[in-house]
Structure 1
Amino acid sequence: MEKTVKIIPFSEVTKFHGHVCPGSAIGYRVAEIAIQNLISPRAVDEELLAVVENDSCSVDAIQVVTGCTMGKGNLIFKDHGKQVYTFMNRKTGEAVRISLKDSIEAWDPEFAAARQKVFSEGATQEDKKDFERIKDEITDKILTAPAEELFKVEKVETEFPEEARIFRSVRCAKCGEMVAEHRARVENGEIVCIPCFSEYSRN
């Protein structure tokens, strides 16, 4: 019999994220697919690792469902602006890459027009109701559609990042605030933080 792993309900994502939306639904399905493919329970420590290539609503859902968080060091953000997510199981060495096949607008052309209208200055209550209706319909579709309709899912071989390290803090010579050693810069022979660092450029 095929082994499955219990997934927490979508309502827990909504509690954390604050509202229901297509983005959080995408993250929920992505996390669900990853856990089932990697046969991994929700991460307690760093046994499961997530690499996300956007900072959308989906990432909130991934944190709730997988237990991968920035603070634990097992959620890595790459600012690529892509609906692509890679999950790695440190215990088995397996990894799965999940990418969204199409945009939300492609699933329902009404969505883009409704969103533009509702965020305009002249939006009416009727416009807002229409937008909420379409948004809820798309969210429901994401939560219920077969995974293969929405996502490309592939097992991949990839290099696992080292586990998170704790770096000592040093004091910035300019503002006096503490900064993690690995994020500090050297300016005129003194240690400074990134906001205080004067970037050199001849362009």
Structure 2
Amino acid sequence: MNKELWEKAVAFHGHACPGLALGVRLCEFVQQELGVGVSPDEELVCIAETDSCPVDAVQAILGCTMGKGNLLCSRAGKTAYNFYDRGTGTSIRVVARRNTAELSREERRRQILESPLEDLFSTTEVKYPLPETARIFKTVTCAVCGEGVAEHMARLQDGGIVCPHCFRAYDR
């Protein structure tokens, strides 16, 4: 394991934990499988199927971020990550192998950091199509709260434009 990457991820995440360790090893696995480094823009895309600790390592090490639009979350509750390399057209879904051993947090973290990558992950075909590159949308003003909202998120209500927070759903 690359100690410098571990320290970078810990600094970003705020503490050392088994989930972050899994994320660091995930990044190593992806770099090995796809032959990628840090994504300066949207060359590498990740759709994470969870919103837990490993995602912070993906941001810190691979450069996939929500702000750049190359990190999306499907919140399927699975420790699985779909990666796409726009440059080569290759994609891979990486799934963390389950470990049901009763270990302390420190023992689990150490086990993850010291295990061979193939013991930690398996691969399958991706579950989602490659998303389009990020678009920039016009900002419109909500007629109720007066805050700006990206045009593609705005709704029409009572003849005015409203944000998702002010929209009164009618779903009977």
- What is the TM-score with the length of structure 2 in the denominator? 0.93
The answer to whether 1:201 aligns with 2:171 is yes
**Equivalent residue in structure 1 for 2:116, among 137, 146, 151:** 146
Q: CA deviation at 1:153?
A: 2.1
Structure 2 alignment gaps of length 5 or more? none
- Counterpart in the other structure of 2:150: 180
Identical aligned residues as a percent: 44
- Counterpart in the other structure of 1:30: 26
Structure 1 alignment gaps of length 5 or more? 1-5, 112-133
* Aligned positions, number: 171
Conserved 8 A contact 1:97-1:153: yes
Alignment partners' CA distance in 1, 2:43 and 2:4: 18
Alignment partners' CA distance in 2, 1:97 and 1:143: 21
- What is the TM-score with the length of structure 1 in the denominator? 0.79
Q: Deviations over 1:157-192 (max 9, x none)?
A: 963211000001000000000000001111122110
Q: Deviations over 1:36-86 (max 9, x none)?
A: 111111100110111101110111111011000000000011111110101
- SS state at 1:166 partner: coil
RMSD of aligned residue pairs (Cα, Å)? 1.8
Alignment partners' CA distance in 2, 1:183 and 1:156: 27
Alignment partners' CA distance in 2, 1:156 and 1:81: 16
**Equivalent residue in structure 2 for 1:44, among 13, 16, 40:** 40
Equivalent runs, 1:125-140 vs 2, <5 Å: 134-140=104-110
Given residue 136 of structure 1, which amino acid in structure 2 is its aligned partner?
E
The answer to whether 1:13 aligns with 2:9 is yes
Conserved 8 A contact 1:95-1:158: no
Conserved 8 A contact 2:50-2:74: yes
- SS state at 2:130 partner: coil
Instruction: Decide which moves more: 148-157 or 166-175.
Output: 148-157
Conserved 8 A contact 1:7-1:65: no
Conserved 8 A contact 2:93-2:124: yes
Q: CA deviation at 1:154?
A: 3.8
The answer to whether 1:87 aligns with 2:57 is no
The answer to whether 1:161 aligns with 2:131 is yes
Instruction: Decide which moves more: 26-35 or 191-200.
Output: 26-35
Structure with a larger share of its residues in helix: 1
